Amino acid sequence: MSDCIFCRIISGEAPGDILYQDEQITAFRDIHPVAPVHVLIVPNRHIASVNDLEAEDELLLGRMFTLARKLAEQEGIRDSGYRLIINTGAHGGQVVYHLHLHLIGGQRMRHPMG
């Protein structure tokens, strides 16, 4: 998916502030952070959204959450708390159609859900 910005960051074709990468997952800082810590955790394989997940992806999703916990510790927001968000589709506010888990923290969240 050479037209996908996240695929290009994962492959190194496009610049990204990468915090973690293995054979399945990459984590990099959001280019427009909404809080002091704003990291995107993405599968290396192009999966457009939650709507495209299959049962075989369950282990991958679990690993994305475990990485979120590790990065929260690394970024010093484990105990203060944080939000994990996956926007899906138009009403969910999804802009980039490569599945990503937002890890957001470092300040108290002001906006309620919805």
Give the DSSP letter string of the chain. Answer: -TT-HHHHHHHTSS---EEEE-SSEEEEE-SS-SSSEEEEEEESS---SGGG--GGGHHHHHHHHHHHHHHHHHTT-TTT-EEEE---HHHHT--SSS--EEEEESS---PPP-
Active site residue 32: no
Total residues binding Zn ion (CB under 5 A): 6
Binding partner of residue 96 among ligand 5GP, Zn ion, none, CB cut-off 5 to 8 Å per kind:
ligand 5GP
In the bound state with ligand 5GP, the residue whose beta carbon lies nearer, of 41 and 77, is: 41
Near ligand 5GP by CB under 6 A: residue from 1, 5, 50, 61: 5
Q: Binding residue for ligand 5GP (CB under 6 A) from 11, 22, 24, 31?
A: 31
Binding mask 1-20 for Zn ion (x = CB under 5 A): x--x-xx-------------
